[in-house]
């Protein structure tokens, strides 16, 4: 019958997808959808797929909103391995000190006049199996992993 696709084998090492998005409203959705597709292709279940997508959306929004990067771009790498998906997100912004970010506390927040924001990092951390942030004057690198 028809010939199947030729030559689609590959070394494990090339299972890397790169995505660069501009810091434009709703573009985080494009990143989230790409994450979904990558997660689907590696057969993550629906819940994990949605969690990965949301974590990446939050990471993008942080860069959009807080990085003050001049090139207004977010650089994302998806690394697919047998056991896990690693997402590395970079911005060339002014950076921040993750240690000095206050943990959000809903009870405290429910008092009048207290800012309700500050959930992004907490959500990213909870949605993923690991989250590490390296940040400095050259920008921020967020590395997130999700086990299969």
Partner 1 sequence: MLDSFTVDTRREGPVWVFSTHGYINNVGGETIAKRFEEAHADGGSKYLFDLGDSKIINSIGVSFLIEILERILETNGTMAFCNCAPIIEKTFKIMGIMQYATIYPTVKEALAGMREAV
Ligand X SMILES: Nc1ncnc2c1ncn2[C@@H]1O[C@H](COP(=O)(O)OP(=O)(O)O)[C@@H](O)[C@H]1O
* Residues at the contact surface with partner 1, assessed by CB under 8 A: 1-2, 4-5, 26, 28-29, 32, 40-41, 43-47, 49-51, 53-54, 57-58, 61, 104, 106-107, 109-112, 116-117, 119-120, 122-123, 126-127
Token pair 């959500």 is at which residue?
123
Q: Any residues with CB less than 8 A from the CB of 45 and at least 6 apart, and which?
A: none
| Residue 117 token pair | 């924001």
User: Between residues 88 and 127, which has the closer beta carbon with respect to partner 1?
Assistant: 127
**Which residue of 54, 59, 61, 86 would you call a contact of a second copy, by CB under 8 A?**
61
**Residue 96's binding partner, choosing from partner 1, a second copy, ligand X, none, with beta-carbon cut-off 5 to 8 A by kind?**
ligand X
CA 137 to chain CA centroid, nearest Å: 20
Q: Does 37 sit near a second copy (CB under 8 A)?
A: yes
Closest approach of partner 1 to the CB of residue 138, in Å: 25
Report, in Å, the least distance between residue 54 CB and partner 1. Answer: 6
Phi and psi at 16, nearest 5°, equal -130, 130
Opening angle at CA 98, ends 93 and 101, nearest 5 = 110
Q: Which is nearer to ligand X, 108 or 117 (CB)?
A: 117
Contact call for residues 43 and 85 (beta carbons, < 8 A): no
**Chain residues that interact with ligand X, rule: CB under 6 A:** 62-63, 65-67, 91, 93, 95-96, 101, 117-121, 140
Question: How many Å is the Cα radius of gyration of the chain?
Answer: 17
Separation of alpha carbons 69 and 21, rounded Å = 13
Is 109 near a second copy (CB under 8 A)?
Answer: no
Which one of ligand X, a second copy, partner 1, none is in contact with 91 (Cβ closer than 5 to 8 A by kind)? ligand X
DSSP state of 25: T
């Amino acid at each position: 019958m028809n010939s199947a696709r030729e030559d689609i084998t590959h070394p494990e090492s090339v299972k890397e997808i790169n995505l660069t998005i501009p810091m434009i409203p709703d573009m985080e959705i494009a990143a989230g959808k790409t994450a979904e597709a990558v997660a689907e292709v590696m057969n993550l279940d629906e819940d994990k797929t949605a969690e990965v997508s949301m974590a990446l959306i939050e990471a993008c929004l942080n860069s959009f909103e807080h990085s003050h990067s001049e090139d207004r771009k977010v650089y994302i790498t998806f690394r697919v391995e047998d056991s896990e998906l690693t997402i590395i997100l970079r911005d060339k912004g002014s950076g921040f000190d993750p240690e000095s970010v206050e943990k959000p506390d809903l009870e405290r927040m429910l008092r009048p006049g207290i800012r309700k924001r500050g959930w992004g990092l907490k959500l990213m951390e909870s949605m993923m199996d690991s989250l590490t942030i390296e940040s400095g004057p050259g920008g921020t690198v967020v590395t997130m992993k999700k086990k299969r």
